[in-house]
Amino acid sequence: MIPCLLWNGTLVWEPWVNLEAIHSVWLGGLSLFFGVCLMAGAMVALKVKGGGLPMNAFPPPKFVSTGFYGIVPHPIYWGFCLSCAGVSLLTGSSAGLYVMTPLSMLGCAAIVWGYERQDLIRRFGSSAPPTLLGLPPANGERPGWVKRFAGVAMIGVVWALAYYGGALTGVAESAPDCRIFGEDAAADISDAAIWIYQSIYLIVPLVLVFSLNTNAKLRCMELWAYGCFGLGVLMFLMFPLSCPLDDFYPVTLADFCLQMDREGLPDYCIAFPSFHVLWALMVAGFAWRYAPRWLIAAAVVWACALAWSCVETGMHGWLDVLGALAVFFVVAGARPLARAALELAERLANSWRACRIGPLRIINHGAYVFLAAFLGYVLAVSLAGREYRIGIAVVAVCSLLGAGVWAQVVEGSARLLRPFGYYGAILGGLVGVAGAALLHPASDGGNGFSGWVLFAAMAVASPWIQAIGRLRCLVQGCCHGHPVGDCCRHWGIVHTNPASRVCRLTEWAGVPLHATALYSIGFNIVSGWVLVRLWCTGLPAGLLIGLYFVLAGLSRFVEESYRGEPQTGRHGGLSDYQWLAVGFVCLAFVFWNIPSAMVPVPLPSWNSEALVPGGLLGVLYAFCMSMDFPDSNKRFSRLTS
C-alpha cells in the first residue's frame, strides 16, 4: 500500500516541482539494487535469526544484531529509502527525488522514534546494536581501521549529498546576492587569500584520516558533520542566496588553482551558509576539544583566516560566513542549548499564576493564547489576502468550538471541566472552511474567494499557532510526557506547581517527564518554515494542505509516543492519538487527489487591517482557554480547581 501511495503522490506532485530532475540509470540502478538487497537480507535475518516476521504487529521474539543488522541500523528502512531514491533517479522524477523520498525518510524516522525504538528498549533493553555505519560509542577505545574508514566515508557521503544535492535543486537561481555588506566581487585576488582558501583541501583530510583515533573523537566529528551539513542544507533551501562569480583570468599558479576550483563547482552552488567555513569551524572546534593549547591557537587562527579568504576570493560574502557560524554554534552547542531550553520549559511548567477580578479568574497563560490566536490570524490574512478576513475568523471560531466539543466527548470528566483537543480543532476548522466557502459567495459575490486558498492559509498558519500555544500547555500541565528513563533524568522537566495538571491528575509530581510540549514547538517551527517557504514559491493550495497533514501527522506520531496523560487510551500497541496521526498522513493523499484543490495561492502581503480583528480573536481565545469562574459549579465554568 505504501509504495502505491508514494507512486500516486509522485504523479500528483510532478507537474508542480520546478527543481532540476536527475535522470541517471547507473546511479539509480545501484541505489535500487543496494536498497532491495538491504531490505531482503534484513527480512530474511529477522525470519531466520529472530524467529519472527518483519512486521511491527508481530515482532520477532529474538534480538538480531548480525548480518545486515551489524552494518547499518534499521536496514529495512534504509533499504526502502534507497529504493525510493533509486526509482526516482531511474525515472528522472524530480517529485520522487525531492518530495516523496524525503517524506519516506521522515516516515521511517517517525516509525523508529515513535514506536520501534521504545518497543525494542522495553523488550530487549537496547534499540539498536552497534553497527559498522552507525555512530561509535562515546569512549576512549581505539576504533579499528575499518570502522574509522566507514566513519570518514559516511562524513564524506553526507557532505556530498548535502552540498551537491542542495545545489542540484537550483533554488539559488535568481536568488538575492549574499553580498550585503559592500563586498566587492570584482576586487583583485591576492595569492595569499587563494592559498589559504585552498588549504582546506589538505588540512581537512589530514584531520579526518589521522586525528579520529578514538571512538569519542570519531563520534564527535560524525555528529558535527551530520548536524552542520544537514542544518546547512536546510537553511540553504529555506533562505536561498546566491553568490555570482565574476569573470576571472588566471595568471599565477594560485590563480589557476582557484580557476580549477571554480570550474568544479555545480551550478547555483550553496553559498549560504558557507560549507567551506563549516569545515574550518569543525576542525577548529575539534582542536579546541582534543588538541594541546598551541594547536588550538593555530587552528583558530587558520579558521579565521579561511573565513576571510572565502570573502577575499569572491567565493562567499560575509553573510555566508555568519550563517556558517550560526549553524556550527547550534550544532556544537546542541547539548547546552537543549539544557537551557529544558530549564526554560521547566520554569514555564511551574509558573502557573492567577489573578481575580470579582468572580473571574485570569490565568497567566492567557498571554500565550492571545499571541497564538492573534499572530495566527494576522499570518493567515497576510498569506491569503484581505478578502479572506471574515472567512479566517469563521474558521478560527469553529476551531475553538471543535476543540472544546472534542475534549468534552473524548476526555471530559468531573476533573477535566473545560479541556481543549487538537484534533477537535482540526475537525472544527474543516467545518469552518466548508461553511465560509458556502456562505461567502452569498455575502460577497464570491469575487476572488476560494475555499481551498482559505484552507491552505489556515494550514500554513497552524504550525505557528500550535508552537506558541504549546507554551500554554507547559503552564497548564496538559499534553505532558511520561517519565524519562533513569539514565536520562537530566533530560526531563519536573512539575511541582500544585495547579499543574501533572500534579493534580497524575502521580508524577516531582518526577522528570519528557518535555513533549517542547518537542512539539520544535517540530512545528520547522514545519511552519517549510510551509511558508513553499507558499512563497507558488505551490497550489491542495499540495500545501496535504503537506501540512503529512508533517503534522508524522510529528504528532512521535510526540504522542512520549505523552503520558492517564485518560488516553491505547489499542494495537499505539495510543489512540497515534492512530489519528496515521490517519492524518493518509488524509494528505486524499487532498492531493482532488483536482479542484490545485488552485494557485496569492503572494503574501502585509495587511494592517488584520490587527484589530486579530486582537479581538485573541481576546476570545484567551477568555475561553485561560479565564474561568472557579466559584461556580456550572458546566464549563472552570479550567482547573
Query: What are the tens digits of pLDDT across the range 267-311?
Result: 567 788 999 999 999 999 999 999 898 899 999 999 999 999 999
Distance CA 382, CA 384 (A): 6
Q: Three-state SS for 246?
A: coil
Instruction: Give pLDDT, residue 444.
Output: 45
**How many helices (H) and strands (E) are present in the chain, helices listed first?**
24, 5
Instruction: Give pLDDT, residue 417.
Output: 56
Distance CA 271, CA 321 (A): 9
Rounded alpha-carbon distances, angstroms, from residue 416 to 158, 444, 456, 480, 565: 48, 41, 33, 15, 12
Tell me which residues of the chain have a pLDDT lower than 70: 184-187, 264, 266-268, 411-418, 441-448, 640-641
Model's pTM, two decimal places? Answer: 0.92
Instruction: Give pLDDT, residue 234.
Output: 92
Instruction: Give pLDDT, residue 459.
Output: 96
Start-to-end C-alpha separation, the chain:
48
Distance CA 75, CA 449 (A): 48
Of the candidates 210, 220, 310, the one whose C-alpha atom is nearest the C-alpha of residue 258 is: 310
Q: Three-state SS for 252?
A: coil
Contact indicator for 497, 346 with CB cutoff of 8 Å: no
Radius of gyration of the chain (CA): 27
Rounded alpha-carbon distances, angstroms, from residue 207 to 148, 201, 211: 12, 11, 5
Q: Three-state SS for 244?
A: coil
Q: Three-state SS for 82?
A: helix
Q: Tell me which H or E stretch contains 362.
A: strand 360-363
Neighbours of 186 (CB within 10 A): 9
Q: E-assigned strands of 424-576?
A: 570-571, 574-575
Provide the phi-psi class of 234: left if phi over 0, else alpha when psi is between -120 and 50, else beta: alpha
DSSP 160-229: HHHHHHHHHT-TTTTPPBS--S---TTSPPPHHHHHHHHTHHHHHHHHHHHT--SHHHHHHHHHHHHHHH
Distance CA 229, CA 236 (A): 10
Query: 28: Cβ–Cβ under 8 A, 6 or more apart, which residues?
Result: 85, 86, 87, 88, 89, 90, 91
Distance CA 83, CA 33 (A): 7
Distance CA 462, CA 413 (A): 28
Contact indicator for 592, 543 with CB cutoff of 8 Å: yes
**Cell 512521535 appears where?**
558
Q: Torsion angle of alpha carbons 411, 417, 418, 421, nearest 10°?
A: -10
Distance CA 637, CA 460 (A): 33
- Paired with 357 in beta bridges are 360
- Paired with 177 in beta bridges are 242
Contact indicator for 426, 402 with CB cutoff of 8 Å: yes
Backbone angles phi, psi at 322, to 5 degrees: -65, -35
- Angle among Cα 621, 622, 628 to the nearest 5 degrees reads 110
Query: 530: Cβ–Cβ under 8 A, 6 or more apart, which residues?
Result: 238, 547, 551
Q: Over the stretch 310-366, which tens digit does the pLDDT of each residue have?
A: 998 888 889 999 999 999 999 999 999 999 999 999 999 999 999 999 899 999 999
